[in-house]
Amino acid sequence: MGEKFRASEALAGVVATDAESATEITYRIQAGRWLALQPLIQWYRNPGADSAIANATLIGVRVELAL
């Protein structure tokens, strides 16, 4: 995060970190000619660059339909 962003956050009372980082593990499964599924797990470190927010884990699935 840039210096101006961190200064702005400090004025709002937020202790901003230098960066937010994310890691994703995913795999695409072609289940048919018209359907693909893509399960995923994402980990976020310092979400929003706000040190008061705990690290986050997201589990989901993307669905692709070809009509």
Structure pTM?
0.68
Task: Quote the pLDDT of residue 15.
Answer: 79
Average pLDDT, the chain: 91
pLDDT confidence of residue 31 = 94
Tens digits of per-residue pLDDT, 28-40? 999 999 999 999 9
- Residue numbers of the domain that contains 14: 3-65
Question: What's the total number of domains in the chain?
Answer: 1
Per-residue pLDDT for 4 more than 90? Answer: no
Distance CA 18, CA 32 (A): 44
Query: CA-CA-CA-CA torsion for 38, 40, 46, 47, nearest 10 degrees?
Result: 50
Q: Is 16 exposed, middle or buried (0-12, 13-18, 19+ CB in 10 A)?
A: buried
User: Which value, in Å, is the radius of gyration of the alpha carbons in the chain?
Assistant: 18
- What pLDDT, on the 0 to 100 scale, is given for residue 51? 79
